Structure 1
Amino acid sequence: MVSNRLGRTAALVSAAAMALAGCASPSAGPNGNYARPAGNAPVTANPTPYSAALVCEATYARANHISAPRIAVGRIADYTGKYESDGSGRKITQGASLMAMSAFAKAGVPLVERYDTSVSELELKYANNKLISDHPNPAPNMPAEYRRILAGQVPGSDFYVAGGITELNFNIRSSGFDLAGGDPDATDFKGTATGRLFVMNVGLDLRLVNTRTLEVVDVISYQKQIVGHEVGLGMFDFLNGNVFDLSAGEGALEPIQLAVRSLVERAIVEMTANLYGMPGPQACLKTDPLETSTVGLTGAYVPAYNNVDTNNAHTREDPSRWNARRDPAVRGRY
């Protein structure tokens, strides 16, 4: 009997070792990796319920020949002061400014960079020292024509956006239940059921400022509630001398960072409607959705040259495009 148990144990250990060997190895394989990463989901657009409204505003402005002012996005900071208790970092994204830039781009608003100007400032310094050229050297050891600095070459902004994430409230309201039942005999069937529902929220305050006069021309404050839930079932029983202890559960929490993006996009929708003089969502019914556009749910772009009829504008939201596993045009190249 002991030898049989030892044999089964050795077999289980060997099977586990083989399974682990199939997942990872201390020696790199032919492709140079120790293991193949899990997952194959393609890159997709990251819209919120307000992204379509932003694209609609861009279409409205183009259809009505509205020239939008230039916008700069400043610091939209996290003022909640909330950190993860395990020391892994902040609970709220530090990228709200980047979300605002993407939102304005979806709305077709021209942007000027003020958030990270380090590269431009460095190139300006090099150009001022006559170290940068926009043309290749005409011949070896021959000086190239250096880039000239022209007065007024950097366009200014008309307005800028600033603000912050000002609220993160946990457990605004929660509810739940725990249920357990079964035969009083210790060896008979017993079952458990649990459920939890909880609500939290996040808040945002943004302002639109006239760059020339520093007059605050628009202020918006929004909050969004976030819901989470979890359920679980369990079973414990003795059957024919065997013990069965089974449990299953499911839970979900609405993404907090996506909630922040939704807040930002809703605020930008309202600010852009003000800049465009747009009456409201009913104006979207008058636009032509088939009109050629350089904006979409992924953002916006400026054509590198006159290539609107042939470029990749209409494929940016397709999750299969450019994916080596999902796009045959790419897969067939390798």
Structure 2
Amino acid sequence: MHALNLYPLSARGPLPRRTMTLSALAATLLLSGCALPTYQQVRMADDEAPVMQGPGPRHNGTPLDNSFACLSHRIVEQRNGRAPLSIAVGDIKDYTGKYSQGDGNVVTQGGSLMVYSALGKLGGAIDVRERFDTRVAELELAYTDRRQLGDGNQHALADEKGQRAVPWLPYYGGSILRSDYYIIGGLTEVNYNIQSGGIEAQVNQIGPRYRVFTMNVGADLRIVETKTLRVVRAVSLQKQIVGREIGAGIFRFFGSNLFDINAGSKDLEPVQLGVRTTLEQGVLELISTVTQTPAGPCMEGAKTAAGEPAAVPPTPVPAEPAAPVPAPVPAAAPFAAATEPMPEKTKASMTSLDVVFEENNTRIAQQSATAADTVATRLRAGQGVRMALLARENENDQNPARRDALTDERLQALRAELAQHGIPPGQVQVLWRPTPGDTTVHRYGAGYRLLARLQVKP
């Protein structure tokens, strides 16, 4: 939020030249330090008034996106061909009781929907079952039971009347898949003004001000075994929400004229994004427990606040591929030109992301389906992204020339996917890939091989 108020109150006659110059200079300085966003107005139809149009919709990313990709990768690699666990979600209610007459409920009433979205970020590592809103399915089952539901075709039915064709869908039960576990809980805390403070200094009614504000939200979640109703694990999480206000003002007479000039900005971390991030961390911990997959290494890289660089990549990364591979970006390699060293500021604003491809294919695997969205989100936040391109270690084609050609095709497929999210192919740099003819399997974690390392700068 930005504010700018100019109130010159003249007691008599025109303003002196010196006063007008001072006023214009103050307003210019304040406006230059308070950059206001500008949006365009669009006329949707000839006979309608134009409407303001802001930024378009985007993938709703959080600081834990990389952690979900990492945990999905780990679950799949240790599953060893077993069927994925099936997870359902119960009602995640708002138990805070906080309500504002002007703004309504303080925290979201859609906690269950946020948990479902979090489970969706795990891709094919788990199966998600619908239990939150089953009204449509139950209605259609009721229609089926009354022999009212059809699909426009005739169906063979054998009963006491013999074999005949009927227009309704015969139903013999067992079509609804069971769940192994379900997640339930609620939003339990909203604490205002945990800490606030600031400073304001004025000389002759002229000076700046700076204020900070902290609140928090909390959630309690548990995961329950559906068959036995045994609570496998319960977690209690909280996140602090921070805000700040920066401004400056002038309130004084210049000659016979009183000037009241104020400018500044207010910034508050989105409360509902804080709730979403808190619920997502709870989902990571609960799923880690029931899949017996440690999530610690995946969550180390997400301990910083939204928009800040992660301290550790989400999955263990070998320092460099083992010998005889040369140092990254060999000068003689025609396919990956050497890049100049990045300045320290750019290095600090890089996050890491794994992109897994299907076996012997150029398609991006399900657990990395949101990779392009994640890269686009990070770039819009001013962060660069380093990507590790991965494939299954046991890919059957070990011919170096064919593997090299497949890597080229995978790079092209990834660049095309990123281009659909507004990232030009030239912005994607290859930092390292094996030299032509290299037969070494550059292992990456358990069960994967490293194909290439890429970098996308903002």
Structure 2 gaps, min length 5: 1-39, 156-164, 299-314, 318-352, 358-363, 375-409, 424-458
Identity %: 34
Are 1:73 and 2:89 an aligned pair?
Answer: yes
1:155 to 170, 173, 177: 177
Cα offsets for 1:96-134 (capped at 9, x unmatched)? 111111111112321111100111111111112222222
Stretch moving more, 144-153 or 205-214: 144-153
Matches within 5 A, 1:105-184: 105-108=120-123, 109-136=126-153, 145-182=167-204
Are 1:273 and 2:260 an aligned pair?
Answer: no
SS in 2 for 1:181: coil
Structure 1 gaps, min length 5: 1-21, 183-189, 300-308, 322-334
| 1:93 Cα deviation from its structure 2 partner | 0.3
| 1:252 Cα deviation from its structure 2 partner | 0.8
Higher RCO (C-alpha under 8 Å, 6+ residues apart): 1
Within 1, Cα distance between the matches of 2:190 and 2:69? 29
Are 1:228 and 2:243 an aligned pair?
Answer: yes
Contact 1:42 1:320 in 2 (8 A): no
Within 2, Cα distance between the matches of 1:288 and 1:176? 42
Matches within 5 A, 1:51-90: 51-64=65-78, 65=80, 67-86=83-102, 88-90=103-105
Cα offsets for 1:155-187 (capped at 9, x unmatched)? 0111111101111100111112232221xxxxx
Match of 1:294 in 2: 366
Contact 1:59 1:293 in 2 (8 A): no
Paired letter, 1:290? V
Question: Paired residues, what number?
Answer: 274
- Closer, same or farther: CA 274–316 of 1 in aligned 2, 3 Å: farther
Within 1, Cα distance between the matches of 2:139 and 2:189? 37
SS in 2 for 1:37: strand
Match of 2:59 in 1: 45
TM-score scaled by structure 2? 0.54
Contact 2:70 2:354 in 1 (8 A): no
TM-score scaled by structure 1? 0.72
Cα offsets for 1:179-213 (capped at 9, x unmatched)? 2221xxxxxxx413222111111111001111111
Match of 1:219 in 2: 234
- Closer, same or farther: CA 228–235 of 1 in aligned 2, 3 Å: same
SS in 1 for 2:53: coil
Within 2, Cα distance between the matches of 1:36 and 1:137? 51
Within 2, Cα distance between the matches of 1:320 and 1:48? 20
Within 2, Cα distance between the matches of 1:317 and 1:275? 37
Paired letter, 1:213? T
Paired letter, 2:127? P
Are 1:33 and 2:48 an aligned pair?
Answer: yes
Within 2, Cα distance between the matches of 1:267 and 1:239? 59
| 1:227 Cα deviation from its structure 2 partner | 0.9
Contact 1:61 1:67 in 2 (8 A): no
- Alpha-carbon RMSD: 3.4
Within 2, Cα distance between the matches of 1:32 and 1:209? 57
Q: Which runs of 4+ in 1 moved over 6 A?
A: none
Within 2, Cα distance between the matches of 1:56 and 1:102? 16
